[in-house]
Amino acid sequence: MPDVPALETNVSLRPYNSFGLPALAQRLVRVRAPEDVQRLLADPDLARLPRFVLGGGSNIVLTRDLRALVLKVEIPGRRVLARRDDAVIVEAGAGENWHEFVAWTLEQGLPGLENLALIPGCVGAAPVQNIGAYGVELKDRFDSLDAIDLQTGDALALDAAACRFGYRDSVFKQALAGRCLITRVRLRLPQPPTAVLGYLDLERRMADTGITHPTPRQVFDWVCEIRRAKLPDPAVIGNAGSFFKNPVVTPEQCRDIIARDPAIVHYPMADGSFKLAAGWLIDACGWKGKSIGQAGVYEKQALVLVNRGQAIGGEIVTLAQAIQESVYGRFGIRLEPEPVVV
């Protein structure tokens, strides 16, 4: 068997997490092919170490150095696997940049992912989080994925049912949390393409421009413009995008909150429940623009926590907890963070 990938020691993780938080990986290995994982697991010295899978680092809050062996996923590759009457199947390596992959599909004349443009992170993390934006979730376009069980070394192929997708949730955050390394993801792009334009911001763009039937490229450009107007660029201001999930409440809870705060932003769900805008709840509690130490709430969008320059992970966590307490005290709702706190 070929040698295992090179082991790097005391690697700064500041460039590898979108918050730009200081932390060291005591040991790090770059995984550039599925076979690299098999070699690692066959190495007696490395196999006994605890492991931490790191993709694009856009959904984590690092509060300390990592003693575990960090598996930095850098598996490349994009290809069209199959063209059928009802769909085109495309595949990407888990280390591919998600936004660049979305742009690539449009360059191939394959729409379907344009609503998910400019979401930070890599392809392998997309199923873990069941990423979603502007009316589309990953599960709506998902076909299957390949992964490796880090306990047994077995190769796994999981379909949508096996992934147990939920709102910003999947089996990889539940039963398989910390157990799998995703290597490749396959997506199903419906044919003929159907634009998803029901989201309020996109409806406003159509009204403002007079374009009632935008092309996929126009939707892609609109989504990028909307996101850039609302969310800071992690390369400029450290952040992990939306920090809290939008809470889902019962009709009774929603009516009770509306009675006290008629302006609350809420959306009906298919099952009769209501999704509340977490950013509105945070803003209503007065947090927009506020800071604790070097951790702050973004001035343009209260749902985003930012690194004001030299924040440490503990400050991000302290700020998040203070916001949670405020929202619970006023609305009786517990906000759930999206990023993983390490």
Residues marked active site are found at: 168, 242, 338
Residue indicated by tokens 């809050």: 61
Residue 281 and residue 324 in contact, taking contact as beta carbons nearer than 8 Å: no
Rounded-to-integer distance, Cα 55 and Cα 95, Å: 7
Report d(CA 293, CA 316) in Å as an integer: 9
Tokens of 16: 């590898």
Residues 6 or more apart whose Cβ sits within 8 Å of residue 211 = 205, 218
How far is residue 114's CA from residue 279's CA, in Å, rounded to a whole number? 24
Q: What is the secondary structure of 7-75 as a DSSP string?
A: EEEEEE-GGGSTT----EEEEEEEE-SHHHHHHHHH-HHHHTS-EEEESS-TTEE--S-EEEEEEEE--
